Amino acid sequence: MKKQIGNCTLELVQGDITQQDTEAIVNAANRTLLGGGGVDGAIHRAGGPSILEECRKLGGCETGDAKITTGGNLKAKWVIHAVGPVYRDGKHREPELLASCYRRSLEIALEHGIKSIAFPAISCGAYRYPIDEAAKIALSTVANFIRSHDGIELVRFVLFDRKTFDAYAAAFEALE
Ligand code: AR6
């Protein structure tokens, strides 16, 4: 699924983010930036130990923020490590923090001249964010960002399983 927003293509695919050929891929990390399970584990396994070596020097990352390393053995030159919120009840700034980690990832991409970037469904696994809600926030935040900033030409959401892909697809269709 694809949509053109200004000079940027917004795309949804089902797949594995470690295999993407975008200049940057985004990791759904935790505040330590020292690795974990899910997509984080997959990225460190596929990219090799140099990513963790760089992460150790970053001193962690606040929820809602992101930090960048190189991509090690990945096709992507860069990994942007974003920390989404753990979902509790929706009343602990979860929507704001989720939107913020997408925006911060895109700001960092622009600062590094990155023109193509792939995102996973941040917070939709171990952090238990309700997927329909997360999909709306992710897509509307990214769409608003690319409408108001020039420079990024491709944003691809890479959804691992069918259920997550379907939820993002519904939010994508509803995007204004
Ligand atoms: N490619 C794309 N998406 C993937 C992949 C992959 N290779 N593997 C899993 N997903 P999660 P979170 C999907 O749990 O909820 C880690 O331990 C997965 O199906 O990876 O933000 C970190 O260290 C789900 O839809 O991230 C943190 O401690 C989505 O990626 C914590 O988990 C996110 O699931 C972060 O939790």
Q: Whose CA is nearest to atom 23 of ligand 1?
A: 36
Ligand 1 center–CA 51 separation, angstroms: 17
Report the sign of the C-alpha dihedral through residues 134, 136, 137, 139, in that order. positive
**Three-class SS string for the chain?**
CEEEECCEEEEEEECCHHHCCCCEEEEEECCCCCCCCHHHHHHHHHHCHHHHHHHHCCCCCCCCCEEEEECCCCCCCEEEEEECCCCCCCCCCHHHHHHHHHHHHHHHHHHCCCCEEEECCCCCCCCCCCHHHHHHHHHHHHHHHHHHCCCCCEEEEEECCHHHHHHHHHHHHHCC
Q: With 90 as the cut, is the pLDDT of residue 50 above it?
A: yes
Q: How confident is the model at residue 108 (pLDDT cuts 50, 70, 90)?
A: very high
Give residue 34's identity as a one-letter amino acid code.
Answer: L
Each residue of 134-165: pLDDT tens digit? 999 999 999 999 999 999 999 999 999 999 99
Mean pLDDT, rounded, for 63-70: 98
pLDDT average, residue stretch 72-100: 98
Is residue 156 within 8 Å of residue 165, measured between CB atoms? no
Residue 119 has pLDDT above 90, yes or no: yes
pLDDT-based confidence at 176, cuts 50/70/90? confident
> What separation in Å is there between the alpha carbon of 155 and the centre of ligand 1?
18
Point out the ligand 1 atom lying closest to the alpha carbon of residue 35: 23
Ligand 1: residues within 6 Å at CB? 16-18, 28-30, 36-40, 42, 84, 120-127, 158, 160-161, 164
Residue in 40, 65, 132, 161 annotated catalytic: 40
Q: What is the pTM of this model?
A: 0.98
Could you give the dihedral angle defined by the CA atoms of residues 113, 119, 122 and 125, in that order, rounded to the nearest 10 degrees?
Answer: -150
Q: Considering the chain, what is the average pLDDT of its residues?
A: 98
In the chain, the domains with their CATH numbers are: 2-174 (3.40.220.10)
